């Protein structure tokens, strides 16, 4: 499977059940007004380092791991790898580390798609969240294209 194969991504999103979130994804979800819904729909684990950075443990999330490192990214990756769960992050450097270590990962854009394909978010809600994400997300054109490709497979 190619890492950016839209059909494979769509298939994984249909089976998505949760992951280990970093601060950036919590911020993006909050800005999209989807943080509470994602934390209710899925099993979202948050390392103590991320709770400290974010300022609180979002409702519905579960904290994992001791605060034994000052590096939240390392804690996120370690907790995800130890539990065979995907990393949820917007941080390109962290996602590159995930790729190198064979750890599955998703960004907020893909979480929107997961909600949509699992009927946890209607099309109007998806469109609102997508528009909000377009205002502040700093994804590369390639990342936005993968999102469009996944979406076009779903709406066929």
pLDDT confidence of residue 4 = 76
Gap between the Cα atoms of 65 and 45, Å rounded: 10
**CA-CA distance, 10 to 102, in Å (whole number)?**
19
Query: Which pLDDT belongs to residue 66?
Result: 64
Identify the pLDDT of residue 71: 87
Q: Domains in the chain and their CATH numbers? A: 6-154 (3.40.50.1010)
Q: Which residues of the chain have pLDDT under 50?
A: 1-2
Of 123, 126, 98, 99, which is closest to residue 111 (Cα–Cα)? 126
């Amino acid at each position: 499977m190619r890492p950016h194969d839209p059909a494979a991504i769509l298939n994984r999103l249909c089976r998505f059940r949760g992951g280990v979130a970093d601060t950036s994804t919590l911020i993006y979800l909050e800005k999209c007004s989807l943080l509470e819904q994602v934390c209710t729909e899925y099993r979202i684990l948050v390392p103590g380092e991320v709770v400290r950075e974010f300022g609180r443990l979002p409702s519905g999330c579960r904290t994992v791991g001791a605060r034994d490192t000052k590096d939240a990214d390392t804690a996120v990756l370690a907790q995800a790898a130890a539990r065979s769960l995907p990393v949820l992050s917007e941080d390109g450097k962290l996602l590159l580390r995930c790729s190198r270590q064979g750890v599955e990962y998703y960004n907020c854009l893909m979480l929107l798609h997961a909600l949509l394909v699992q009927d946890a978010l209607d099309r109007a809600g998806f469109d609102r969240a997508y528009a909000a994400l377009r205002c502040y997300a700093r994804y590369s054109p390639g990342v936005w294209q993968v999102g469009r490709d996944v979406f076009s497979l779903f709406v066929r």
